[in-house]
Amino acid sequence: MNTALGVLESAGPLLVWAIVLGFVFAECAFIVGLFLPGDSLLFAAGVVLAQHDHEHQAWWLSGTATVVAVAGNQLGYYIGAKAGHAIITRVGGRVLNQHNLDRARDFLDRRGFFAIVVARWIPWIRTLAPLVAGAAKMDARRFALATTVGGIAWVPTLVLLGYYAAGLLEDLPWLQTVAVVGSIAFFVGGTVWGIWRYRQEMRRPVDTVSVTE
């Protein structure tokens, strides 16, 4: 009985880990990440872990998710490098279009190392920057250092902010519950909306754009 109870109590945090690591990797490595609510996910994860009073897990998740985010960006860089100068966009796409790709390329050209660090905080650039950096042959070591610094600044900040912000509401249980439900609802809604937008985007005609023109 005690074992079963322990499994039930740990199911919530374990699910949080699985969702966070999977979504963070996808958002940092693949085009579909353009449509995923990464920032709200990390914050929501901290809020949920606070509900279970798992402070140590919040810190461990922050570290692990940072490593996963860096690995995801490294894969994105590799994909961009292997794809050459061309990155596929969509004709008339609202997100995956030449305008946004040009903005990401211009941001990277003007800011270089700093752009990769800051890109962690800009949702659509967070996904495009590694692809553009790889296709444009940015120095691999410089990119790795920049994306690591950015990951360290991004993931723990949002997870721990969610955890300790929720912890401040311990004296107001109803408000803490609202925070948990609201965070999860925002994440789920954002994910459903993002997947729908991604499917709509992928139905548009393909357009191949060079990132080095």
212 in any annotated domain? no
pLDDT digits (tens, 9 = 90+) for 101-130: 777 777 777 777 888 898 888 877 788 888
**What ranges in 119-139 are assigned the alpha helix state H?**
123-135
Three-state DSSP class for 151?
Answer: helix
175 in any annotated domain? no
182 in any annotated domain? no
209 in any annotated domain? no
Query: Which pTM does this prediction carry?
Result: 0.77
pLDDT digits (tens, 9 = 90+) for 17-36: 888 899 899 888 887 777 77
Total structural domains in the chain? Answer: 1
> What pLDDT, on the 0 to 100 scale, is given for residue 4?
36
pLDDT digits (tens, 9 = 90+) for 157-175: 999 998 888 877 666 666 6
Three-state DSSP class for 97?
Answer: coil
Three-state DSSP class for 87?
Answer: strand
What is the extent of the structural domain holding 29?
10-167
152 in any annotated domain? yes
- Give the separation between CA 170 and CA 185, rounded to whole angstroms: 20
- Give the separation between CA 52 and CA 44, rounded to whole angstroms: 13
